[in-house]
């Protein structure tokens, strides 16, 4: 069987580390990574699944809000990834959104974001870390819970913003100790998952690798029970 092609989106420059780690996970589980950047001829590309990676905050205009902070925006990347997500949704392709990718997926489904998180934190630190130092609480019987095979585990945190109102057909299946959304999914889709943390930096942890393994399984038409 041919390896499914997985589009890995990201900025025009930089982010070599996380994109390479995602590509390694895709290859490990039988996929063929396709790096997609702003300016690429999207209509000419062929792919069977999508990973939307992390990075800059998305422009609040995409969820009909006024800017509340002064972050860095990347309008070219916003446009590219919006188009890729819309295409994946229209064609029912497996999609994993990581951090910014989860937020943009939520926005494309009509949800919105908290533009800053410091004021929402009481039990957790607002500092960034690639280490799994924060606690994830997973909804029982959720798709993400079945993949992680736990209702509580450690995750990392590299984000300024997070999901507020959840988009159409998405449900929250993971939160941190402050109740901030950490995982969303569409239970009516074969594989439509967004995670606020960065599993590509945690590939030495088996449960984190299962997110990528399940994505590839969905691309190959295999049920999650086999992951």
Q: Which residues are catalytic?
A: 99, 198, 200
Helix or strand holding residue 174 (H, E): strand 171-175
Tokens of 40: 């690429």
Half-sphere exposure of 36 (CA within 13 A, CB side): 30
Task: Specify the residue for token string 């439509």.
Answer: 192
> Within a 10 A sphere around the Cβ of 105, how many other Cβ atoms?
29
**Sign of the CA dihedral running 174, 83, 24, 73:** negative
In angstroms and rounded to an integer, the radius of gyration of the C-alpha atoms of the chain is 16
Q: For residues 183 and 175, what is the distance between their CA atoms, to the nearest angstrom?
A: 7
């Amino acid at each position: 069987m041919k390896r499914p092609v997985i589009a890995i989106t990201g900025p025009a420059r930089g982010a070599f580390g996380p994109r390479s780690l995602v590509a390694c996970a895709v290859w490990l589980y039988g996929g063929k990574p396709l790096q997609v950047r702003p300016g690429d001829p999207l209509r000419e590309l062929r792919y069977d699944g999508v990973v939307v990676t992390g990075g800059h905050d998305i422009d609040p205009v995409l969820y009909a809000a006024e800017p509340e902070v002064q972050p860095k925006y990347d309008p070219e990347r916003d446009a590219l990834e919006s188009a890729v997500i819309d295409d994946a949704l229209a064609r029912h392709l497996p999609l994993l959104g990581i951090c910014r990718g989860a937020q943009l997926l939520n926005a494309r489904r009509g949800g919105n974001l908290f533009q800053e998180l410091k004021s929402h934190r009481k039990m957790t630190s607002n500092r960034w870390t690639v280490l799994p130092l924060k606690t994830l609480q997973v909804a029982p019987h959720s798709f993400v819970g079945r993949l992680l095979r736990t209702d509580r585990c450690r995750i990392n945190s590299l984000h300024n913003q997070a999901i507020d109102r959840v988009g159409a057909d998405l449900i929250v299946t993971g939160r941190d100790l402050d109740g901030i959304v950490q995982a969303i999914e569409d239970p009516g889709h074969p594989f439509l998952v967004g995670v606020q943390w960065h599993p590509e930096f945690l590939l030495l942890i088996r449960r984190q690798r299962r997110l990528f393994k399940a994505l590839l399984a969905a691309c190959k038409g295999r049920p999650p029970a086999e992951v």
